[in-house]
Amino acid sequence: MGAINWSHWRVEQKEAEFEELDAISMEQQLTKAISNMARYQKLFRETPEPLSVAQLVKGQIGELAPRIPMIVALRNPGMKDRHWKQLEEVCKQDIIPKKGTTLNDMLNLDIQDHKGVVMKICDIAAKEYAFEEALIEIEKE
């Protein structure tokens, strides 16, 4: 992913509805962008203008990258209303995504301060979901 593609992708992702966001794909694209920017920095180390663009993009990626694990966790299909309500209690703010809630809206909630608890609740939701899916498979047999 080049600088222009990154710029478009970044805006597109931040404006996307949170409920429709493919967080796994987003994580993969971000990993690819990190790799590309590292390669571009080596390639353009003697060319100031392209190098500065690569460094700028790498900085933007660096701002988003630490939040990706939480985005992936929150987009887990196991997240039910009860989990979102638990998160609201912990974070002491309205965080249940509604129609029209974007990734940017979720990022602006600044729930990173509660990352440990948020990740634990999301992990429980994921395990419950896996268990429910396993039961469905057993019932089919």
DSSP per-residue letters across 14-65: HHSBGGG--HHHHHHHHHHHHHHHHHHHHHTTT-HHHHHHHHHHHHHHHHHG
Average pLDDT, the chain: 89
Nearest Cα to Cα of residue 6 among 45, 43, 44, 55: 55
pLDDT at 127 over 90: yes
Q: What pLDDT sits at residue 50? A: 84
Q: Give the C-alpha separation, 106 to 23, whole Å.
A: 13
Residues 68-124: pLDDT tens digits?
999 999 999 999 999 999 999 999 999 999 999 999 999 888 788 899 999 999 999
Question: How many domains in the chain?
Answer: 1
The domain of 37 spans: 3-140
pLDDT at 39 over 80: yes
Please state the rounded mean pLDDT for residues 46-52: 87
Q: Give the C-alpha separation, 7 to 133, whole Å.
A: 38
Please state the rounded mean pLDDT for residues 51-75: 89
